[in-house]
Amino acid sequence: MILAALLLAATQATKAETLAGLYGETLGAASSCADLPHDRLDVVTKLAAAHLKSEADKPKAEAVLSNRLADGIERGRRAIGTGGETCAQALSEFDDLERDLKR
């Protein structure tokens, strides 16, 4: 019972952190693809950062989210570099993220 409560608390506390990691992976992978215009990447990156900032409940949380975002970007770039993900997949995920953030 205590373990379940701890897991629930950890899950609630890390929702924004999870989003930061996912956003970062998507942005990092897409940024490695030549077919993505840089101005479009910049717009979605700014939207993602603004959304994460709104999810941060404390100034310290913003730093944690920034680190998670940066780590995710590196994972996304590595995924493209190693062939773990294709640019077609990365751009499809980017399109989904862009659509979700613009709602």
Write the pLDDT tens digit of every residue in 43-99: 999 999 999 988 877 777 888 889 999 999 999 999 999 999 999 999 999 999 999
CA–CA distance, 81 with 15 (Å, rounded to integer): 28
Q: Check if the beta carbon of residue 32 is closer than 8 Å to that of residue 87.
A: yes
Domain boundaries, the chain: 15-101
Pick left, alpha or beta for residue 37 (phi over 0 → left; psi -120 to 50 → alpha; otherwise beta).
Answer: beta
Instruction: State whether the Cα torsion 10-11-17-18 is positive or negative.
Output: positive
**Does residue 10 surpass a pLDDT of 70?**
no
**pLDDT(5) > 70:** no
The two three-digit tokens of residue 17, written as one number:
């952190």
Rg of the chain (C-alpha set): 15
Does the structure show a pLDDT above 60 at 2? no
Give the tokens for residue 36.
């993505």
Give residue 80's pLDDT. Answer: 98
